[in-house]
Structure 1
Amino acid sequence: MKNVACAATNENVDSPKKLNEKELFKRYAETKDIDIRNELVNRYLYIAEILSKKYINKGIEYEDIYQVASLGLIYAIERFDLSRGFEFSSFATPTIIGEIKKHFRDKGWSIRVPRRIQELSKKVNAARIALNQKLQRSPKIEDIAEYLGCTEEQVLEAMEASQVYTPKSLDLSYDANGDDKDLQLMDLVGEDDKHFDMIENRDFIQKCLDKLNEVEMKIIKDRFFHNKTQIQVAEEIGVSQMTISRMEKKVLEKFRKELKKIKEI
């Protein structure tokens, strides 16, 4: 019984919750015990939370930023070297911020934009603020280009690309100049794609053709795809032109019924 009690006592002393931070990092470096790492994460998770809140309302949901920051905290724990004499918080902070900024670079743009344009876009925004204060007016494109030492085309490219950082909702409403109904962005941009109608029509025709017999199929293809006359089709099949006319009307009636079914759905 004494041995059991002694073992239980030792287990309690060695529990990660009972160890200080330096002992935890030392143990983790030696054993890579997940329980020890989890304890370190719990103790320093407040750093990830504080840093995440600095990036609220920057175009990415807070929960996503917090998850990235928490992952950055784990990376910091894995890389931390106690022997170098640094405080862990001082080491972890730039590691976490680096992961958050990397996430913004990779995921923050609604459309993937080349890294050079993303970086130039940040410089353009900073230049506009600086020049606005210096010139006491809104800077022109040439002012920004001269300030950054780049071409006006590059500035325009960066400014255009910055528009995709935070996409606008198609439900966004605009004042319709006194009209009762406001206009939505979806009413102002884009147009109907004719290809959709072509695809639907082609699909409808194919379904109708699949229901025809061999003679009916030949009549429809010859008449409407090969531009043959009823007399030409009649001669090829060996029937009268009147017979082709009746069969053609019968097939077209089938098409009309199928189309009516689709409209009723």
Structure 2
Amino acid sequence: GLIKAIDRFDPAQGVEFTTFAIPTIAGEIKRFFRDTGWMVHVPRRLQELRITLAKATDELQQLHDRAPTTAELAEHLSMDEAEIREGIVAGRAQTAGSLDIGSGSDSDDGPTLGDRIAFEERDYELVLSREALKPVIAALSERDREVLSLRFGSELTQAEIGQLLGYSQMHISRVLKRVLGELREALLTGE
């Protein structure tokens, strides 16, 4: 701002340098914060529209003793309502709301935004377990993987699996017990 004031100052105008420099520097500081202080990048046109809307809202609020509608703002500024809505939405990008603020009239009232949009994924643990088991299952013998697939994929009984593979139900039971023990151990130890 100071450099700009020095570059643009004309002593022939008969004005002291400080009289010219102070508003120029203040304007540059405001422009910097206006351009970089937004949480989301908003085009300059919409930033300026937000300022225009704020002034028009104040004027109409004084005049009607209530908050103006979008239609009233559009008529007052000779714009269409879509532009007004776009400016209002752009104005919300200047500050970010906290996820910890309550939704009630009192900031501590009601569930927070974080409570409303965050949820516990029911199947998260299941997905983690599956991913942890993939290498362990891949290391099993072909027969053990087939027994697991038939039991838990096709949901066959031990007797049906035994009949299909030519083993007794007791043998399938032992295979399943051993394989499930290995899988359980792998999940618990993280190996």
TM-score range, shorter chain: 0.5 to 0.7
Q: How many pairs were matched up?
A: 180
Q: Determine which of 35, 42, 52 is the counterpart of 1:113.
A: 42
Unmatched segments (≥5 aa) in structure 2? none
Q: Determine which of 197, 210, 220 is the counterpart of 2:135.
A: 210
Q: How far apart, CA to CA, are the structure 2 residues paired with 1:251 and 1:99?
A: 70
**What is the SS of the residue equivalent to 2:117?**
coil
Identity in percent? 26
TM superposition shift of 1:173: 3.9
Q: How far apart, CA to CA, are the structure 2 residues paired with 1:250 and 1:217?
A: 12
**What is the SS of the residue equivalent to 1:183?**
coil
Query: Contact 1:132–1:139 (CA<8 Å) still a contact in 2?
Result: yes
In the alignment, residue 210 of structure 1 is paired with which amino acid? P
**What is the SS of the residue equivalent to 1:165?**
coil
TM superposition shift of 1:84: 4.9
Query: Contact 2:136–2:183 (CA<8 Å) still a contact in 1?
Result: no
Q: How far apart, CA to CA, are the structure 1 residues paired with 2:105 and 2:84?
A: 33
1:161 equivalent in alignment to 2:87: no
Q: How far apart, CA to CA, are the structure 1 residues paired with 2:54 and 2:8?
A: 40
TM superposition shift of 1:96: 5.8
Match in the other structure for 2:32 = 102
Query: Contact 2:161–2:172 (CA<8 Å) still a contact in 1?
Result: no
TM superposition shift of 1:162: 2.3
Q: Determine which of 112, 120, 144 is the counterpart of 1:185.
A: 112
Query: Contact 2:53–2:87 (CA<8 Å) still a contact in 1?
Result: yes
TM superposition shift of 1:184: 4.2
Match in the other structure for 2:99 = 170
Q: How far apart, CA to CA, are the structure 2 residues paired with 1:137 and 1:202?
A: 53
1:233 to 1:203, Cα distance in 2 relative to 1, 3 A? farther
After superposition, the CA RMSD in angstroms is 4.0
TM superposition shift of 1:234: 7.1
Q: Determine which of 132, 135, 147 is the counterpart of 2:76.
A: 147
Unmatched segments (≥5 aa) in structure 1? 1-71
Q: How far apart, CA to CA, are the structure 2 residues paired with 1:82 and 1:152?
A: 40
1:218 to 1:173, Cα distance in 2 relative to 1, 3 A? same
Q: How far apart, CA to CA, are the structure 2 residues paired with 1:182 and 1:259?
A: 42
Select the structure with the greater relative contact order (CA < 8 A; seq sep ≥ 6): 2
**What is the SS of the residue equivalent to 2:113?**
helix
Q: How far apart, CA to CA, are the structure 1 residues paired with 2:147 and 2:43?
A: 56
Query: Contact 2:151–2:161 (CA<8 Å) still a contact in 1?
Result: no
Matches within 5 A, 1:254-265: 254-256=182-184
In the alignment, residue 251 of structure 1 is paired with which amino acid? V
TM superposition shift of 1:148: 1.2
TM superposition shift of 1:147: 0.9
Q: How far apart, CA to CA, are the structure 1 residues paired with 2:105 and 2:25?
A: 49
